[in-house]
Structure 1
Amino acid sequence: MTFSRRLLITTTALAAALAAAAPAFAQAKLKVAAIYTVPVEQQWVSRIDKALKAAVGRGEIEYVFSENVTNADYERVMRQYAEQGNTLIVGEAFAVEAAARKVAKDYPKVSFLLGSSGKPQAPNFSVFDNYIQEPAYLTGMLAGGMTKSNKIGLVGGYSIPEVNRLMNAFMAGAKEVNPKVEFSISFINSWFDPPKAKEAAFAMIDKGADVMYAERFGVSDAAKERKVLAIGNVIDTQKDYPDTVVASALWHMEPTIDAAIKAVKAGSFKAEDYGHLSMMKPKGSTLSPLGTFEKKVPADLLAKVRAKEKAILDGKFSVKVDDGQPKAK
């Protein structure tokens, strides 16, 4: 056999082998695990889950999750997922900061992306947060313009920075269009207790509140029953409350999740703060469509809201980030 013929056969065989292997390489997917302390349908967690499932739909990742994980069990679950070969672990570290950061140190080759009030931790612990105070401000403007009693109620989970900043922005927006508005504020000390949130809302409505800020599930149910208005948070629930929910400040986790996945795949993931990707300019948050309230919101009020929305996107107006506990005014 001549040299040229042997070379041809060898080259052909190599090409065939590479062609056969190509689908396997193409199908290699990033293994991602998420750990949630509440049910996956809870609004905050549902946005993370939605973004990860979108990546699954694109064929980029394999995705598993655990929900209703107690704080005491969080570290164990994190370690289990790290041991199982997951390259990226997503979750929330707000109540388990020390434990979560300890796990990250023990698994330096695993990338961690967790909701946190703290700073990134080198080399592999990145943080994110729901910096959706901009659309929260816009929904506050709507609330301030729609109230007839000049009394607005706010029901939140816990008084922590992630909740406080949204309530403060909402209240500032309401005050801009209606200086006479007064606020009632309550925290139910739970991330998922719709009956308790509902009762807190009833108490405010009984005292004259005709617009409710539904930071937690249950508030819109109370508003619907008492025939007052509500403002949603994180997800758009208007389809479930078409005559109640005027609008919502929506959180979109896709920019954050997609950036993390891209960095892990490129081998460039490092300790970073992804918080800015939750703001309006990167499309991490938006004001929901008005839908059934499109013609119910006064034209002059809507014009003010749209002008403010444009000013935010153009960088001409900045919503103050106030993490302090909101006070009734």
Structure 2
Amino acid sequence: MVNKKWLVWLMVAVLVMASLAGCAPKAEPAAPAEPAPGAETPAEEAPKIVLILPGPINDQGWNATAYEGLKLVEKDLGVTMEYVESVQQADFESTFRDYGEKGYDLVFAHGTQFFDAAKAIGPQYPDTFFMVINSEEGVEPNVGGIGIREWEGGYVAGTLAAMNTTSKQMGAIGSFPFPVIEGTLDAFEAAAIAVDPAIKVTKTYVNSWDDIQKGKETALAMIEAGSDLVFCSANQVGLGSIDAAKTKGVKAIGYISPQNEVAPGTVISSVTYNTPGLFKVAVQDFLDGKLTATGKSLGWADGVLDVQWTDGVTDEMKATIETTIQDLKDGKIENPYVPGD
């Protein structure tokens, strides 16, 4: 028969052990394990950036320089940018709206002609920054501009042209009568007259960025009227004007991108833009959180303009151009453009 006293003592012992277990401190949850040395950490999501172009990337001019900017950003900053070519003015707003809806972080628009559309659509997408290349304006909270003082490029082109005309008549072709284009042609004319007051410059606008044939026809008309040198600031239209100069045996000044090889012997030299550098500056500012809804304008003093020489330019001509460039850097030459004139 089981000893009752033994059972009583056994039950007391069990109750004491249970009580002690209930008073024991609870274990804390384990801390997250530290990553092993050399282990990869999750990468941040890449920014979504797109470049909107008014023309094709193979235009040997304005749009080609933007594509070079895209490649420079990829190479130097490790950031991939998308691009869309030949967006027409009627589609500017819908294109901006599309990328805003898709949640893009940064939308580049390559040309001052995009500014009004960016100003209208930008505020509707506050999480997207719209950067207009070649605009000196910005609109809060998310529309900015960065560009080149094109009139400074036009001034150097006019100085070089004046030293290479015999008839003292030259033609200057612009795309649209936008202030930045008017300013470029006015500076070209003012520089030429500063070299030789007897020079006459015929200026006209073709209302196109990409009509190469119209560029050729316009330049041919100028040449028939006595011009022996043509200059053009109108993207692809410039290729037509150079072709006209080649056909008629007169000279041309390359502009925006290196165009010396477009027509060797016809193109005296090219005044070029370091447009790729603008994109690198803007993307770096974006990555650093420093983009602001303002306009920024750069010129010779900032290293965003250059001259690509040919063998047809003498040392004396080069010296004159270098002096002109230095005067522009030092602020000794004022912008001759007067709106409304």
- Normalised by the length of structure 2, the TM-score is 0.82
1:260–1:269 CA contact under 8 A, matched in 2: yes
Compute the displacement of 1:116 (Å).
6.3
| Aligned position for 1:305 | 321
Instruction: Note the aligned Cα RMSD (angstroms).
Output: 2.5
- Is the 8 Å Cα contact of residues 34 and 66 (structure 1) preserved in structure 2? yes
Q: Call closer, same or farther: CA 1:37–1:223 in 2, change over 3 Å.
A: same
Counterpart AA for 2:320? K
Quick check: 115-124 or 82-91, which moved more? 115-124
Q: Per the alignment, do residues 47 and 194 of structure 1 end up closer, same or farther by CA in structure 2, a change over 3 Å counting? A: same
Equivalence map 1:229-268=2 (5 Å): 229-268=251-290
Q: How has the CA–CA distance of structure 1 residues 97 and 260 changed in structure 2, closer, same or farther, with 3 Å as cutoff? A: closer
2:311 equivalent to 1:292: yes
Secondary structure of 2:311's counterpart equals helix
What letter matches 2:291 in structure 1?
F
Contact 1:160-1:323 within 8 A present in 2 as well: no
Instruction: Give the paired residue count.
Output: 307
**Do the aligned partners of 2:77 and 2:284 also contact (CA within 8 Å) in 1?**
no
Instruction: Give the 3 Å change call, closer, same or farther, for CA 153–163 of structure 1 in structure 2.
Output: same
Q: Determine if the alignment matches structure 1 residue 209 to structure 2 residue 224.
A: no
2:38 is the counterpart of 1:15: no
Q: CA deviation at 1:323?
A: 5.2
Pair 1:173 & 2:161 matched: no
Q: CA deviation at 1:18?
A: 7.2
Amino acid at match of 2:147: D
Distance 1:321 1:259 in 2: 28
- Kindly indicate whether residue 19 of structure 2 is the aligned counterpart of residue 30 of structure 1: no
Whether the 8 Å CA contact 1:132–1:250 is kept in 2: the answer is: no
Within 1, Cα distance between the matches of 2:87 and 2:300?
A: 31
1:105 matches 2:127: no
Residue pair 1:132, 1:249 contacting (<8 A) in 2 also: no
Q: 1:319 to 1:293 in 2, by over 3 A?
A: farther
Deviation at 1:10, TM superposition (A): 7.4
Q: Which blocks of at least 5 consecutive residues in structure 2 are unaligned? A: 1-29
1:273-284 aligned at under 5 Å gives the runs 273-274=295-296, 276-277=297-298, 279-284=299-304
What is the CA deviation profile of residues 64-90 of structure 1, one whole-angstrom value per residue up to 9, with x for unaligned ones?
111222223222221222233321100
For residues 107-133 of structure 1, the C-alpha deviation after alignment (integer angstroms, 9 at most, x for no partner) is: 112111014657311111101334122
CA shift digits 1:197-252 (9 cap, x unpaired):
10111111112211111322310000011111001211110012110111222111
Q: Which amino acid aligns with 2:53?
A: Y
Q: Would you say the 8 A contact 1:132–1:280 is kept in 2?
A: no
CA distance in 1, matches of 2:282, 2:41: 27
Provide closer, same or farther for how the CA distance between residues 191 and 211 of structure 1 changes in structure 2, counting only shifts above 3 A: same
Distance 1:97 1:267 in 2: 22
Give the Cα–Cα distance (whole angstroms) in 1 for the partners of residues 34 and 123 of structure 2: 42
Contact residue 129 and residue 142 of structure 2 kept, 8 A: yes
Identity %: 24
Distance 1:112 1:185, change over 3 A: same
Specify which of 216, 221, 226 is matched with residue 198 of structure 1: 216
Task: Mark the structure with the bigger radius of gyration.
Answer: 2
Amino acid at match of 2:311: T
Distance in 1 of aligned mates of 2:93 and 2:37:
43
**Helix, strand or coil at the partner of 1:19:** coil
**What is aligned with 2:201?**
183
Superposed displacement of residue 196, structure 1:
0.7
CA distance in structure 1 between the aligned counterparts of 2:102 and 2:138, rounded to whole angstroms: 24
State the Cα distance separating 1:181 from its structure 2 match.
Answer: 0.7
Give the gaps of 5 or more residues in structure 1.
1-8
Question: 1:58 corresponds to which residue?
Answer: 76
SS in 1 for 2:308: coil
